[in-house]
């Protein structure tokens, strides 16, 4: 099983009630962070969606909804489903995607980057998505 599949199983089991775009966004955030487990080493802490603080989940829901709402026409033209959109939004806002192969995808990437780069940090009150430009 791939690391992404492993994490997706954990996340899906602990995030009932979260829309598929936000769940995909959180999965991408966790799997791309320095906190993703390295299963080669025994004792590695394995984080799951239940480790995200409630305010972080709420902010993720709000950011995903704002991005999808502001770009609904463009998203519709590209034909991206909600699950793929959440992952796309996380990677695009963090400049982990090269410019898209189409002008429409490139435009959507630039709109995602306007939300600011974000990182996942482990705090005493749970995992948080920290956005330096909002600090």
pTM comes to: 0.78
DSSP 99: P
More confident residue, 20 or 13: 20
- The pLDDT score that the predictor gives to residue 134 is 60
DSSP 97: S
- The pLDDT score that the predictor gives to residue 53 is 86
More confident residue, 129 or 93: 93
pLDDT tens for 49-101 read 678 888 888 999 999 999 999 999 999 999 999 989 999 999 999 877 765 67
State whether residue 75 is helix, strand or coil: helix
- The pLDDT score that the predictor gives to residue 3 is 42
Cα separation of 19 and 28, whole Å? 14
- The pLDDT score that the predictor gives to residue 61 is 92
Q: Spell out where 1-135 has E strands.
A: 119-123, 126-130
Alpha helices in the chain (DSSP H): 3-14, 20-32, 54-70, 72-78, 82-93, 103-113
- The pLDDT score that the predictor gives to residue 12 is 47
Residue 88's Cβ-count burial label (10 Å; 0-12, 13-18, 19+) is buried
Query: What integer is the mean pLDDT of 115-123?
Result: 87
The yes-or-no verdict on residue 1 having pLDDT over 60 is no
More confident residue, 44 or 51: 51
pLDDT tens for 3-17 read 444 444 444 444 556
Q: 19 and 61 in contact (C-beta within 8 Å)?
A: yes
Tell me the CA distances in angstroms from 96 to 55, 113, 134, one per residue in order: 25, 10, 20
Q: 112 and 89 in contact (C-beta within 8 Å)?
A: yes
Phi and psi based region of residue 69 (left: phi greater than 0; alpha: psi -120 to 50; beta: remaining): alpha
- The pLDDT score that the predictor gives to residue 126 is 77
């Amino acid at each position: 099983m791939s690391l992404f599949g492993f994490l997706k199983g954990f996340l899906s089991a602990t995030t009932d009630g979260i829309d598929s775009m936000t769940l995909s966004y959180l999965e991408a955030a966790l799997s791309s962070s320095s906190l993703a487990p390295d299963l080669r080493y025994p004792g590695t802490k394995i984080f799951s969606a239940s480790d995200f603080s409630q305010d972080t989940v709420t902010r993720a829901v709000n950011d995903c909804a704002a991005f999808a709402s502001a770009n609904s026409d463009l998203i519709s033209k590209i034909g991206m489903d909600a699950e793929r959109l959440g992952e796309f939004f996380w990677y695009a806002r963090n400049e982990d995607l090269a410019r898209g192969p189409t002008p429409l995808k490139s435009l959507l990437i630039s709109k995602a980057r306007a939300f600011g780069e974000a990182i996942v940090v482990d705090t005493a009150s749970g995992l948080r998505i920290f956005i330096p430009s909002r600090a």
